[in-house]
Each structure stands twice: as C-alpha cells, then as structure tokens.
Amino acid sequence: MTQYAMVIDLHKCVGCGACALACKTENNTALRRNGQTRNWADYQHETRGKFPKTTYMTRPVLCNHCSNAPCVKACPVTPKAMYKTRDGITMTNNERCIGCRACQDACPYSKMEVKDGETSVISFNEFDQPYEPFYADKSEAIPGCTSSGAEVAKKTDNPPHRTRYDHPDYADVRRPGIVEKCIFCEHRVKKGELPYCVVACPASARIFGDISDPNSEVARLVKKHKGTVLKPGKGTKPNVYYIRSYSVK
Amino acid sequence: MTTDPARRDVARSDAYRLLAACFCEPERELFLAENLGANLAALMEELAVPAREPCRRLAEGLDANSQEELFLEYTALFLGPFGAPAHPYGSVYLDQARQLMGDSTMVAKKMYQAAGITQEVEGPPDHICLELEFMSYLTRRIAQALADGDEAVVAEFSRRQRDFYTRCLARWVTPFCNAIRDNAQLPFYRALADCLGGFIAAERRHVQEMATTPVPAA
Amino acid sequence: MKIKRRDFLKLSAAAGVAAAAFKGTALNALAEVTRGTIGGEKPGEWKASTCQGCTTWCPVEVFVQDGRAVKVRGNRYSKQNDGYVCPRGHLQLQEVYDPDRIKVPMKRTNPAKGRGIDPKFVPISWDEAFNTIADKMMALRQAGEPEKYLLLRGRYTYMRDLIYDGVTKIFGSPNNISHSAICAEAENFGAYYTEGMWGYRDYDISNSKYVLVWGCDPVSSNRMIPATIKRLGDVLDNATVAVVDPKMNNTSAKAQEWLPLLPGTDGALALALAHVLLSEGLWFKEFVGDFKGGKNLFKAGATVDEAAFEEKESHGVVRWWNLAVKDMTPKKAAAITKVPAEQIIRVARGMAKAAPNVAVWLGPGAAMQVRGGYSAMAVNALNGLVGGIDNVGGTLPSNKVPTRKMPHVDAYQDELAKKHAKLKKIDQRGTRAIPALKKGKSGGGVVTNNTATGILNADPYEIKVAVGYMNNFAFSCSGAERWEKAMARIPFFTHITTHASEMTQFADIVLPGATSTYEKLCWVKQKQNRYAQCTLLQPVIEPLWPVINDETEFPWMLGEKFAERGFPNLIDFLKKEFKDPETGKEATNSKEFTEYAVKYYTQDLWNGKKVGGDKITGWAEFRKRGMWNSDPQPYKTRWGGKFGKDEEKDGKKTTHGTVSHRFEFYSETLKKALTGHAEKHKTTVDDILAACNYTARGELAFVPHYEPPFRYGSEKEYPFTFIDYKSRLNREGRSQNAPWYYEFKHVDPGDVGWQDVLKINPADARKLGLKDGDKIRVTSVAGSIECTAHLWEGVRPGAVAKAFGQGHWAYGKTAAKDYAKAVPRGGNNNTLMPFDIERLSGANVRNGGFTGVKIQKA
C-alpha cells in the first residue's frame, strides 16, 4: 500500500528559506498572528559549541504525515476531519473540521501557541477573523497616493498572489475556525506533480515518493543513509526522514 | 487449519461475506451455481469452526426446497407483515424499547463512518447483512495490511473489528439465532442459524487475540 | 436486502496472500467512502522574466492565473539556475502586490525637507508632473547651467543607457551618477590590478577540488546564488570548502574549514597563505614558473634574486615575495588575524594539493574596506599562485553577450550640451584624494557615496535639479544621514520609485515606477557556471495603476515635454536611433519605444546572425523563452600572455588589461595608474597614498600587501568591532516592506524572526550584563541605533555582527515602525557605519572592522 514520504538531505540543504516561502505562495498561507505561524513548512536552527569551534545547522520541518498519527486519533469528528488517506497522507478536511484543536494539542510537532523561534506544523485560524487581515486593511501610508491592502486585494484576490486550485478536502484559502497544515500538496501529487516545496528547493534536498516501495528513491535513501525521524520516542512513525548531516565538519 | 494469519483472515472475511449473502433475499440458482454450501463448509473447516453438520444441512436444504419456498420463508422470518418473528436488526435486541433505529443503531453507523464505509442501501444500518459485510470488510483490510507488513493498519483495523464485534454484532447474534430456530420451518434457515451462531462464537477468540497482540499503540 | 453482484458470493482468490489478491472490493450493500474529485491547479501560464532581487539576475518564470502573478521559478532554459530561484524569487510576490506602493504621481506641498517632516504629498496628473520636471530642467539650460542637473541611478537594467547616458548627455550634464560603488568596486579593483579584468569573476565550482570562499557567503548573496545552492552539496563531497569570514555564515556552517579572521586583516591572511605556498614550493609551476635551478629559494625572511626565477604566465612573483610576502609567516599572520597558524598551513597545503582546480572566491568582505584595495589584490593573487585563473575548477572571465551598443548621442547634442557634459562630475572622482582608478584611469569610476560630499559643499558646483530611480542612498550608503542632509539641499528632486522610501521623503515630484520582474520590458546580462546569459524582464501582468518604466518611458515622456519647449533633441534621438529593427518604424509612444529599444539592443541574439549559444529564430520566440545562453566559456583564454593587450588608435596607445600582459603579482598596471594620477596632480605616489589613508610607501604600493585595518572610534570608548553583512532575504533594498522578510528572518544564522538583532558573543554579553532579547542602544562615532541583543557563538568575543536591511524610517507601513512619524523598525547599519570610501577604487566602505561601537541597555 502506498505510503508517501519525504526525505530531506541535510547535506544538500543550505537553510535558504526557499521551500517555506514557495509553500506560502503555493498554498496561500496567511501571516503569523496570535501565536499561529501558518507556516506549513518552517525551520529549526541550532548553534552549538564555543567560538571558534561553533557549529550551526538548519532543519526544515513540516507535517510528518505519521503512520501512527496522534492528530488523527485525537480528532473527535465522525467521520474524522483529520484522517489518513489510502496513500498515507495525513489529510485535513476543511468541511468536517470543527476547530476544536485537539489535533494541534495531540501533535508532538505542534504548539497550541508558538513563541519566538518555535515552530508548529499545525496552525489554527481563529474564528471571526478574515483569513488574511493584512490584505483587508484599508489604511494608506500616504492618503490618496499609496494603496492599501484592501485596495490591492479588491483589484486582485486575497492574498493577491493566491494560487487557485481545487481539492475536495481543503480549499486553496482556508476558512476561519479550522486547523490547517501541510497536505503533501495532494492537489499536485494526484496530478502527477511533486509537492511544491520539492520542486522549489534549489538544492534538490527534498525527495518525495512512496516509501512502501523498496525501490523508490525515498526508500533507498533512507536505507542507505540510515534516515532518522523527529521524536522517534513518541511512537508516531513519521514519514518525513532526515539524512546526512548539515555540516561536514 | 491454516496458520498463516493473512490467509486465515482472508478465510474469515470470506466466511463473514458468505453468511451475509445467506441473509439476503434468497437466490437459489445463484447460491447453487456458486457452491455456497460447499464453500461455506470448506471455510468453516479451514477455520476449525465446528460447523460441518449445519453446513451439510444448509446445502441439503438449498437443494431440497424451491426458490419460491425459500423466498416465502425469508419473508415470513425477516420481513413479516405483522412484525417479523426474527427481526434482522440489532437494535431490536439491544435497545430497551426494542425498536428500530435506536441508540445501538447509531453506534454501528458511526463505526462504519469512522472506518471510511458508507451504506449503499436504504434502511437501518444494523441489519445483519450489513454488520456481517462490515466485519468481512474489516477482516479483509487486516489481511491486506498483514500481507503489506503495515503494522499500523493491522493495529487500527483489529481494534475497529474488536470494537464492532463486542459493541454490536456479538451482542445480538445469539438471541437473533434463537429467534430463527424458534420460527423457521425450512432446514436451510435452521441450519443457517446454527452456522452463524457457531461461527460468531468461535470468532470471539480471534478478535480478542488480534486486538491485544502487541503492536505499536495506535 | 438483495445481492447486487455475483462477486459477493465468490471466495477470495485461492492463490492466497499475495497482496494483489486483495485488490478490488467485494462489497455488496456497503461501500468505501469515495473522496471527491481532485481538480488540482487552475489554469495559468508560466511567463518568462528576470528576478532582480540580487545581482545574480536570475532568468525566471512567473505563473500567472487570471492576470495575477502567483508563483515564481527559475527559467527552464537557464544554464545558470537550472530552473530554481532562491528565497528572494518567492519573496518578491509581496513586493509587486505591496499595499504601500505608490499608485499615482504626487507632488510635495511642504517645502521644508528633513527626516520626520511630512512632505504633505498630494496626487497630481502625469501631465502636471512632467510639465513641472521639464520646466525645472529647461530653466537650467536657459540659465546656461545644464551641469546642475544630476541623475542618480540605482539598480538598473541595460536599458539604463537611455536615462543614464542619453538624457544626461543630450541635456548637457556630466552628472550621471550610478550606485556601482556601493556594490563592490574595490573587489573589481583587486581583480583588475592582478589579472586585468574590471568585473566580477565566474567560478567553475562544479569542477573545483578546493574552494576558498573569502568575505562572502555565496549560497546567500553574491552573483550565482541558486547555482551555488544547487552545487554546494556535491562540492562538499568532491572538494574542500574553506570560508574566510569573521562571523559564521551559511557557507562556513557547512564547510570543512572556517577561518574567522579579525575584521580587516584579510591581507595578512592572504599573504600568509602565499607564504606557505611559496616557501614550501607548492605554487603551480605551469602558471607561475619556477626557479631556473629547480631549487626553491623562497625561505622565510630571505630576499630572493629576481633573476633566479623564470616566470611563465605571471609577472613579478619574486618582487612580491621580497616586498610583501617573505616576512608574513603563518605565525606572524596568526598573531594579526587570530587564525591559527596550523589552519593557515593546512589550508594552503590543501589548495596546493588541489591545484590548479582551485577557486578563490573573492567577495566584498575582503575588499570594501578603508584600506581594502590591496587586500582584494592579495586574495586574488592566490588564484594566480595556484593556477586556478581561467582554469578548470577555477575562476573565469565571462563569455561575451553580443548585444548592441547605444547609438552615438553626439549628433543630438547642441553646443551647450557638448561643452557642459564634459565638466567635472559632482562625485569629485579623480581628485587628489579620490583616484577612483577604474580600469587604470584616474577618475575612471564612480564614487557614489562621495556625491553627497559634492552636493553638500556645492563642489565643484551646486546641484539644482536631480532625478533618482530605483535607489535609496539615504538608507543604503554608509553615513546615511549625510545623504539626508544632501538631499535636503537639492532644490528640486524627482524620484521614480515603487515605494515612498527614505529618499522619496526629499522629493518634490514622485513618479510611480514599475517593479522590475513584473511590469517592465528590459534586458540584462550576467554569467555563471561558464555560461553568459541575456535575459528579458517582461511585463507579465498588467500593473494595478499606471506606472512607468524608469529607464525608457521617463526619457520618452521627458523628451516629448522638452520638444514642446523647443528642445526636440532628446525625442529625436529616441525616435530616430531606436527604430523597430524589423520594420524600420519609428515609435509613436513610450510603450512602442520601449519595445523597439529592447529589440534594437538584443537583435543579434534572435535575428539569425551567427553569434553562438542558443539558436533563437525571432523576436516572438525570444520573448517566449525570455533568455539566451552563450556557449560555455573556454578555459585558459588568457594564458600565453593575453591578460592584457595594447591597442593603437589615432596614434594613441592604450592598454586593455594588464600592462605586462601577464597575471601580475607586481602590478605594473597599478604602478602606471597611480603614477599617472600623481602626475596629474603634480605630486608623488606616496603623497597620493597618504591622502588615500594608506600606509604603504614606495614600491609596496604596487604589490598586494597587508595594511593594518583603519577603525573609527577608539577601542577604549567603542570596544566592539562592528561586522555588517547582507541578509539572504534582502532583495537589495527592496524587501523590507514584505512581512515574509521578517517571518523568515531566522534563515540568517543567528537571527530571530520579527527582530533586528545584534549578535554578541555570550562572554561579552555576560560582561555587559545583557540577556538574550534585551533591547539595546548601539553607538558609533557616526550615530546610534536601537535593536535587540542576541547571544550567539557564531561571532568572536570583541566583535558584534548585524545583518543590513532593517531600520527603515520610511518605505512603508511594514518597513517602518511608524511611517507617519518616521519611527524606524530596528536600526540601520548605515547609521552606525561612518561615511568613508576606499579611495583607490571609489568604493563605499562597509567591511574590515572600520566601525567601533559601544553597547548599552536601552
């Protein structure tokens, strides 16, 4: 049975930020507010040692699409709003989601509220708030001379660079009062494309495929480099693997 | 008796499915053409369920009676114009009010939904055919996951199967079988009640064992 | 209940447990929930353009849905970026759709000018705007002083010729001032006075066995970002990467070696590496040559007889050794640079082992220093010692991009213009203390930052009318506040800009400009990975309001207004010299003109002429592809005495490249340039060097050597040495109004999202009683800013580092903390860094530890 997985080659990754930004342009995720990052892809950084023997690394993070997903288990809705597709994607259904945030609470890779420097793979869109207030703001820096968020959105869309796509479970811009997270770009994958962060990575550090197929590149890389996952002790069985090390020192 | 778990579960799934077929409107020609009796007997044998005798009677009964006779008996037992003597719905046996569409019906419905299953026919979801078919489906998913080595799915569906068995099916099959035995005239249906009763009783061990086999917590 | 399908009665395949046996369903009255149809991406089109977020100038494609730009990727035909962009490519979507963009021409109604003074801008018509500008400019001509018009150019495309040269020269002013010296002219100085090339080098890192990155972070900035990001992983597998940078950067974090030298000691480190290469006999003999007797006579401290050595492709290695290298042992350099001697030796030996497949990647950090000219030369000299110049895996010049040159303007210049366009320039280039020796010529290059000096002192004369485009010198030049004063001095300033930047606050007329990737038709050229490219910027979307292409439409519209005022020369030039090369038609409006002009410049790439590289069959195909790739750059093109060549024209001998025609360790080329400059001012080279704040005297002036770093502020009063560098999210100066910039600021090592942090070594912070996240005030002799302290081991004790970018007090509601009240968000590094220039090249100073700072809790 298909199990989609992603391998992130830290040796190739330069921590540049392209994947997370590309994700924001593909999935039209809103800006951070109220402790919710809405970054379906994000980064964790680590500096160790004392100068000059300092080491530094960046680790791209995203939903781990766990085989044993606590978010799915926690979802109280019937049928579940957070569920596993037959291809092993941890899917979130916008229509069924009631915004209880039990998934966010249950996910060991998420925070109900992030502080500086923290990441959360599940974010929550507050009730009764436009998805992106930045482009609903009517104020003008120079009245009558410069534009406003609302005016730009009126002439374009919200967000103005909104990438339009159709998917039965999730919208290209999600409504208020629900959670959202990486869905492995299923709207692309099912059309024979790769997730957008994968095609956008200038280092080709992200590899996507069916890990249940031992001949797939993801399976071979995980085997060859003894891929690791985040928080293995939690028993979540993540399907995002990290191989090699960020630094050669 | 088979020892390969996946193969065993394929047989279990088939058994559930054939029993579900038996509780549908009888189609004598089709049942005979598909060797229903013999196949059921073979499955029970493979699963070491002591049902050789009822299966033989079931096959003989199918041979002996006409399509019309079988249909009349089916109607009388399960559809009865003045209240069926052997109601095929779980809630009649489980709910206080002995009525259709009770709380227990909703339990079954939710369990179908949670497993990603919808009902394609009209009527309450706790019909014996649907419940047996659902068990067949769950068992088949387990067999498939075992073959794929997908422990997470094995664990998940084993849990679903145990829950459904204990909270729904197994709770009302015995009184249901008794009701058939009390009211059936034809050997086919009397034998079917014995087959079902014996199989469901034998299943208890399987569903309990599978769901408690240590696999990573779901 | 009915049986609906016969399958329901069948046993599962007797074959048993093979996974395939389970496929397909055998359900009757139940069914698996089927999910709705996945529609996928809505229709759209990938349209070719160019990203100008940095000087890589990536050919890109923009995905356009319903007329909106929604995604960006590298151009699929590009041999430079292989279809990828760095984060800047994605970030720019928030730039084109920025809520704070100027949507209408506006004029100032408050004559008072200064930071925090509201210009009281009001909207006006395009016609009024151009009438006002034309009146002000024509008044200068009528007064016989057209030189008092100043064009301040910022980031450009190669259509710059029209506004930069065309308008300025035909109008009659010498003052077309570019931003180039803010960028990295001192780096070009290092290359020119060693290998004879005034230009940025290309790096063949795919074939390198050793890459020594010096004073830059090529996966984050410099000129081949996506190409380097793509290759670095493999380079780390196949080669050794060593990084010289006083603070941890992205490349050094991944590399085998990090050499965190004391800021400004680059020259000493480079010489020490040369010392190891020479004294241990490890130089690349095929390039440099060898001792005639075969025995290595380079011994620490010992002078060597020049006659004993026979050079091949280079010139003056022994004289260099004698003058500057022989005493710079690794031990001595270690004391100066704080890089351990063992590491210096290890790196030098590693380079030698990999020679000649070695690239020494010279970045601005080694050059843009008060005394950076010679450190740039020293670093580039290493490329010669290891033979990596023009070699496999080394550094390369660029292939030619066969575009046309601007037609001559002479015929359109009247007498006034001819005379006044030759007057002295406002940036004071070529004066005694500002040699600006671009390509060997005294006053040959721009001295951008010194333009403020000229304006402030009205020296050589007053500037009365200025036009600026795609620039923001009041923020982007060190000593930024000087520019505020200078801009306030200009009586009439027009700014063509997308945003109301700091410089805009001093404008009298503001014209809404087109964004570079989305709304302009222009072209640029660049090179990477041995391929040169010509790439188009194209209007892939309709602008939300009327905006103009600064470089083409401004000249056209101004030309029309000049003609109305009896001066048709400019519009005649634009109409007659830029006819459609296919039909011969003259343009009738600014948009037609823009297209004809781009066609004129690029025609040989698509008109069937045999120029090599990609075969493109016509203008339509060129626009669709958006770019042209050259053939790969061959190796060793300048070996065999071709690092310079002499030309004689009309009895006048000129040299292109090095005077000796070889790679120069002893720079005859610099000797000639400096001597020429000294003679022009009737003085000595030593006097010039003293005036330029260099310590070298005599022959040392002609070789790469070590100059002690110059520092503003005593160590006692300003105990920390400030390190400035560029954020990898800086789209030059144009991304700080984009919220995503702040959201992902932490991709700069040691930085924190939504903060402007000064990185301090934890040991220093302890002494100051500072905690992570404390608000601090940082002060230099030049100015003072507020920002946040971040404790980080990526910077040495005694030094502090901060990324350039934040600290805007204008530009927009996101960039500034309070736009209306001119309150900055974070602090501008250019407030701390005093005004200064590397005088030999004219470059802005921002590196080399020249700024001492003190830190207090705010």
Tell me if C465 sits within 8 A of C137, measured CB to CB. yes
Detail the DSSP E strand segments found in chain B: 117-119
CA nearest to C1, candidates A180, B135, A218, B78 = B78
The count of structural domains within chain A is 1
**Edge-to-edge order in the sheet of strand C358-362:** C257-259, C240-244, C210-214, C358-362
Q: What angle (nearest 5°) sits at the alpha carbon of residue C133, between those of residues C127 and C135?
A: 100
Q: What is the DSSP string of A12-35?
A: T----SHHHHHHHHHH-----BTT
> Are B106 and B95 contacting, i.e. CB atoms less than 8 angstroms apart?
no
* Measured distance CA(C594)–CA(C827) in Å, rounded: 39
**Taking the CB of residue C651, how many other CB atoms lie within 10 A of it?**
5
| Crossing angle between the packed helical segments B128-148 and B151-164, to the nearest 10 degrees | 160
Q: How far is A51 from chain B (nearest CA, A)?
A: 43
At residue B132 the predicted structure's pLDDT band, cuts being 50, 70 and 90, is very high
SS3 category, C793: coil
C109 pLDDT band, cuts 50/70/90, is very high
Chain A contact set for C232 (CB, 8 A) = 12, 14, 203
Q: How far is CA C415 from CA C410, C411, C412, in A?
A: 10, 10, 10
Residue B160 has pLDDT above 50, yes or no: yes
Q: Is the pLDDT of residue C12 over 70?
A: yes
Name the nearest CA neighbour of C459 among C477, C434, C436, C479.
C434
Q: Using CA atoms, how far apart are residues C249 and A145, in angstroms rounded to an integer?
A: 41
C647, pLDDT greater than 90: yes
pLDDT of residue B144: 86
Tokens, residue B163: 């829950």
**Residue reference for tokens 């490249």:** C657
Measured CA angle at C594 (ends C593, C597), to 5 deg: 80
Least confident residue range of A39-53, A202-216, B150-164, B165-179: B150-164
Q: How confident is the model at residue B116 (pLDDT cuts 50, 70, 90)?
A: confident
Give the pLDDT score at A2: 83
User: What's the mean pLDDT in C351-365?
Assistant: 98
CA pair distance C740, C745, nearest whole angstrom: 8
* 3-state class (DSSP) for residue B100: coil
pLDDT tens per residue, range C249-266: 999 999 999 999 999 999
- Spatial CB neighbours of C653, under 8 Å, sequence gap ≥ 6: C646, C647
Q: Which pLDDT band holds residue C15 (cuts at 50, 70, 90)?
A: very low
Question: In A31-107, which ranges are continuous DSSP H helix?
Answer: 70-74, 102-106
Q: Would you state the structure tokens that stand for residue B135, as one six-digit string? A: 């068990």
Question: What's the rounded Cα separation, in Å, for the pair B123 and B23?
Answer: 15
In-domain check, residue A249: no
Q: Is C532 exposed, middle or buried (0-12, 13-18, 19+ CB in 10 A)?
A: buried
Chain B CB contacts of C7 under 8 Å are none
* CA atoms in the 13 A half-sphere facing the CB of B105: 18
Report the candidate in C343, C38, C369, C22 with the shortest Cα–Cα distance to residue C187: C369
Query: By C-alpha distance, which of C152, C155, C46 is closest to C731?
Result: C155
Per-residue pLDDT at C19 exceeds 50: no
What's chain C's average pLDDT?
96
| Residue C21 pLDDT exceeds 60 | no
**B163 close to A (CB below 8 A):** no
For residue range C690-711, list pLDDT tens digits in order: 999 999 999 999 999 999 999 9
Q: Which domain does B26 fall in, by range?
A: 5-212
Residues C292-341 have pLDDT tens digits of: 999 999 999 999 999 999 999 999 999 999 999 999 999 999 999 999 99
Structure tokens at B6: 């996946």
Strand partners, A92: A82
Asked whether residue B218 is assigned to any structural domain, the reply reads no
Q: Which residues of A touch C41 (CB under 8 A)?
A: 163-165, 187-188, 191
Angle between helices B128-148 and B5-22 (to 10 degrees): 160
Which amino acid, C820?
Answer: A
pLDDT of residue C24: 45
Residue C103 at interface with chain A, using a CB cutoff of 8 Å? yes
Q: Chain A contact for C513, CB < 8 A?
A: no
Task: Select the more confidently predicted residue: C708 or C12.
Answer: C708
For position B4, what pLDDT does the model report?
82
DSSP C323: I
Whether B71 is covered by a domain: the verdict is yes
Pairs of residues, one from chain B and one from chain C, whose beta carbons lie less than 8 Å apart? 97
User: Worst-scoring range by mean pLDDT, C33-37, C213-217, C791-795?
Assistant: C33-37
For the beta carbon of residue C640, count every other beta carbon within 10 angstroms.
11
CA distance C71 to C61: 8
For an interface test with A, give the residue of B118, B148, B158, B159 to mutate (most A CBs within 10 A): B148
- Does residue B101 carry a pLDDT above 90? no
* Residues in contact with C820: Cβ distance below 8 Å, sequence separation at least 6, in sequence order: A141, C118
Task: With a cut of 70, say whether residue C14 has pLDDT above it.
Answer: no
Task: Give a yes or no: residue A48 inside a domain.
Answer: yes
Q: What is the mean pLDDT of residues C600-619?
A: 96
Residue C726 to residue C747: CA distance in whole angstroms: 12
The domains found in chain C, sorted by start residue, are: 45-96 (3.30.200.210), 106-181+402-629 (3.40.50.740), 202-396 (3.40.228.10), 720-857 (2.40.40.20)
Phi and psi at residue C565, in whole multiples of 5°? -100, 20
Separation of alpha carbons C368 and C363, rounded Å: 9
What pLDDT is recorded for position B81?
63
Which amino acid, residue C473?
A: F
Phi, psi of C511 (to 5 degrees): -110, 130
Distance CA(B83)–CA(C685), nearest Å, equals: 118
In a domain, B123, yes or no: yes
User: Do residues C729 and C741 touch, judged by C-beta distance below 8 A?
Assistant: yes
Contact yes or no for B39 and C11 at CB 8 A:
yes
| pLDDT score at C25 | 52
Strands C775-779 and C816-818, sheet pairing: unpaired
Residue B217 has pLDDT above 60, yes or no: no
Q: Using the Cα atoms of residue B12, residue B17, residue B19 and residue B20 in order, give the sign of their dihedral.
A: positive
8 A C-beta contact, residue C759 and residue C750: yes
Calpha distance C797→C777 (Å, rounded): 18
Neighbours of chain A (3+ CB pairs under 8 A): B, C
Q: Report CB contact under 8 Å: B34, C2.
A: no
**Closest CB from C39, C68, C226 relative to A166:** C39
Report CA torsion sign: C222, C228, C229, C232.
negative
**How far A111 CA sits from the closest chain C CA (Å)?**
17
Angle A35-A40-A46 (CA atoms, 0-180°, nearest 5)? Answer: 75
Picking from A3, A78, A237, the nearest residue to B110 by CB comes out as A78
- Distance in Å from the first CA to the final CA of chain C: 80
Residue C760 Cα, gap to closest chain A Cα (Å):
11
CA atoms of C148 and C449, how far apart (whole Å)? 18
CATH code of the domain in which B191 resides: 1.10.3480.10
Are the beta carbons of C747 and A15 separated by less than 8 Å? Answer: yes
d(CA C71, CA C65): 9
Q: C217-235 burial string, b = 16+ CB within 10 Å, else e?
A: bbbbbbbbbbbbbbbbbeb
pLDDT digits (tens, 9 = 90+) for C145-184: 999 999 999 999 999 999 999 999 999 999 999 999 998 8
Q: Is B150 on the interface with A (CB under 8 A)?
A: yes
For C268-305, the pLDDT digits (tens) are 999 999 999 999 999 999 999 999 999 999 999 999 99
The neighbours of chain B, by the rule of 3 or more Cβ pairs under 8 Å, are A, C
| β-strands C492-497, C465-469 pairing | parallel
When CB atoms are compared, the residue of C19, C27, C28 closest to B144 is C19
Q: Hey, are the CB atoms on C795 and A248 less than 8 Å from each other?
A: no
Nearest to B218 among A68, A78, A212 (CB): A68
Range(s) of the domain holding residue A57: 4-243
Distance set, CA C571 to CA B119, C153, C412, C562, C594 (Å): 78, 21, 10, 8, 13
Per-residue burial over C123-132, b if 16 or more Cβ lie within 10 Å, else e, is bbeeeebbeb
pLDDT band at B18 (very low <50, low <70, confident <90, very high): very high
Shortest Cα–Cα distance, A154 to chain B (Å): 41
CB distance B153–A1 less than 8 Å?
Answer: yes
Q: Are C452 and C835 in contact (CB under 8 A)?
A: yes
Q: How far is CA C153 from the centre of its chain?
A: 14
* Contact at CB, B217 and A67, closer than 8 angstroms: no
Lowest-confidence segment of B125-129, C28-32, C160-164, C271-275 by average pLDDT = C28-32
Q: Which regions of A121-162 does DSSP assign to beta strands (E)?
A: 123-124
Count of H-run helices and E-run strands, chain A? 7, 10
In this predicted structure, the answer to whether residue B103 has a pLDDT above a threshold of 90 is no
| Cα C853 from Cα C585, distance rounded (Å) | 61
What is the DSSP secondary structure assignment for residue C486, as one 8-state letter?
A: H
Q: What pLDDT score does A104 carry? A: 98
pLDDT in tens, A95-124: 999 999 999 999 999 999 999 889 999 999
Three-class secondary structure of residue C105 per DSSP: coil
Q: What is the mean pLDDT of residues B182-194?
A: 94
Mutate which: A31, A40, A51, A157, vs C, most C CBs within 10 A: A51
Task: Evaluate whether residue B157 is within a structural domain.
Answer: yes
3-state secondary structure of C743: helix
Look at residue B96 in the predicted model and tell me its pLDDT: 76
Identify whether B217 is part of a domain. no
Residue type, A94: N
* Cα C37 from Cα C24, distance rounded (Å): 20
**Is A248 inside a domain boundary?**
no
C99 cis-preceded (ω within 30 degrees of 0):
no
The set of residues, in sequence order, having a beta carbon less than 8 Å from that of C216 and lying 6+ positions away, is C222, C245, C361, C362, C363, C364, C365
- Flag whether B58 is in a domain: yes
Tokens representing residue B93 in the block: 């046996």
Q: Does some domain include residue A110?
A: yes
- For residue A82, the domain's CATH number is 3.30.70.20
Mean pLDDT over C95-101 rounds to 98
Over residues C621-641, mean pLDDT: 97
Total domains in the fold of chain B: 1
State residue B1's pLDDT score: 53
Residue with tokens 């060190």: C478
The two tokens of residue C262 are 């004391």
Residue C405: other Cβ atoms inside 10 A: 7
- The answer to whether the Cβ–Cβ distance between C29 and B119 falls below 8 Å is yes
